[in-house]
């Protein structure tokens, strides 16, 4: 029987979905998310998250700054679905106020990603710099206004309206605050050091940290079991596998590869093409490396060819990442929405104006 005009037979689609579900990358991603959520759950149960948040509150009176700093620090550790590493900390930090689920999600999600335009540990920055044949430092020099715009827009549109409560100096003062921060953050600090400095697989580092926590704190076996079960809940597993399968199908049918040539043939202004192509691919895939790897090689001639215009590169990078931030298949967004129980409508009412500011700033830099 001939395949339908849409391109592939239903049986082929089912086979490809099955392959995606058991693919090495999918299983590795699922294992990483499970261990991340297990560590967060166990550390929370043992009081580490509360001590970290308490330490920050002892040093900073405005609790809104505290809840933004937590994911911002966590964002310096690139990892798939990494927002879940700090989401429980944010929830603990806002417990003194009345923040909505959408506000908690936005703070966890948005402020974790403010560094991705400039932080050299993110693969997108490294690959983007390599494709345009410029040093990584140039991405910092040209993209830092976008990071500032992201911080400012997130603070203006959402953070200033969050009811996170006020903080009061603890009885043991500043020293007590720093002590709580160090005690509360060490499990996560070890993960950062193990992954970034020692280049050890994330899963192994987290399992070692969990083992040390078990030895030091001697939690009940039920607490350990529940911590790991948190990451294997049906909704979490299906979300992760679903996102992986969707991205696999996009690659299998070459939908993403077809978009840039199509737009290039439409004779749109070059600046528009540079902004639109990465954004569409970012929206479709929710993956930074996807919009860079697919769109940048085709857009380089429009960006100046050998004499690359880094302002145009900045525009393409900013628009592509805005697409990723808005993508409903961005793994961080999918998982944290489930975690906080936030509504899609409420999420996008916050994300859209904040993302619009980034695009306006990027466009003004290019046009002025």
What CA–CA distance (Å, rounded) separates 268 from 302?
A: 12
For the ranges 71-85, 140-154, 156-170, 188-202, the one whose mean pLDDT is highest? 140-154
Say which residue the tokens 């202004």 belong to. 269
Average pLDDT over residues 196-205: 81
- Is residue 110 within 8 Å of 102, Cβ to Cβ? no
Q: Length of the chain in residues, anyone? A: 368
Tens digit of each residue's pLDDT (9 = 90 or more) over 314-347: 999 999 999 999 999 898 898 899 889 999 999 9
Residue 41, both tokens: 């759950």
- Which SS3 state, helix, strand or coil, does residue 62 take? strand
What CA–CA distance (Å, rounded) separates 275 from 264?
A: 12
Query: Minimal CA–CA distance to 362: which of 295, 269, 272?
Result: 272
Q: Is 23 exposed, middle or buried (0-12, 13-18, 19+ CB in 10 A)?
A: middle
Q: With 80 as the cut, is the pLDDT of residue 50 above it?
A: no
pLDDT of res. 1: 39
pLDDT of res. 3: 41
> Maximum CA pair distance of the chain?
77
Q: Where are the domains of the chain?
A: 10-367
Return mean pLDDT, the chain.
Answer: 82
What CA–CA distance (Å, rounded) separates 196 from 56?
A: 24
The proportion of the chain whose per-residue pLDDT surpasses 90, expressed as a percent, equals 29
């Amino acid at each position: 029987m001939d395949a339908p005009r849409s391109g592939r037979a239903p049986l082929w689609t089912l086979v490809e979905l099955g392959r995606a579900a058991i693919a090495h990358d999918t299983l590795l991603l699922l294992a990483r998310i499970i261990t991340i959520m297990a560590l967060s759950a166990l550390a929370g149960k043992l009081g580490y998250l509360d001590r970290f948040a308490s330490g920050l509150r002892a040093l900073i009176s405005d609790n809104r700054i505290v809840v933004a700093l937590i994911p911002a620090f966590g964002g310096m550790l690139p990892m798939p679905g990494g927002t879940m590493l700090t989401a429980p900390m944010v929830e603990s930090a806002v417990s003194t106020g009345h923040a909505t689920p959408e506000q908690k999600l936005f703070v966890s999600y948005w402020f974790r990603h403010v560094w991705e335009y400039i932080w050299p540990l993110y693969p997108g920055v490294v690959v983007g710099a390599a494709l345009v044949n410029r040093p990584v430092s140039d991405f910092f020099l040209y993209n830092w206004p976008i990071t500032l715009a992201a911080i400012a827009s997130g603070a203006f549109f959402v953070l200033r309206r969050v009811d996170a409560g006020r903080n009061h100096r603890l009885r043991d003062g500043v020293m007590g605050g720093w002590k709580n921060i160090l005690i509360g953050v060490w499990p996560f600090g070890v993960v950062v050091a193990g992954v970034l400095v020692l280049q050890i697989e994330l899963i192994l580092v987290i399992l070692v940290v969990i083992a040390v926590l078990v030895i030091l704190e001697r939690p009940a076996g039920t607490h350990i079991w529940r911590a790991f079960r948190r990451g294997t809940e049906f909704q979490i597993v299906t979300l992760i596998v679903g996102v992986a399968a969707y991205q696999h199908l996009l690659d299998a049918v070459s939908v993403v590869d077809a978009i840039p040539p199509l737009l290039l043939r439409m004779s749109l202004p070059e600046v528009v093409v540079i902004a639109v192509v990465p954004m569409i691919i970012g929206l479709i895939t929710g993956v930074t490396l996807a919009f860079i790897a697919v769109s940048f090689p085709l857009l380089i001639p429009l960006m100046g060819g050998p004499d690359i215009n880094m302002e145009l590169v900045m525009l393409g990078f900013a628009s592509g990442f805005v697409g990723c931030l808005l993508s409903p298949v961005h793994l961080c967004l999918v998982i944290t929405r489930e975690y906080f129980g936030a509504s899609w409508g409420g999420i996008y009412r916050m994300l859209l104006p904040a993302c619009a500011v980034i695009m306006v700033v990027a466009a003004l830099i290019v046009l002025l």
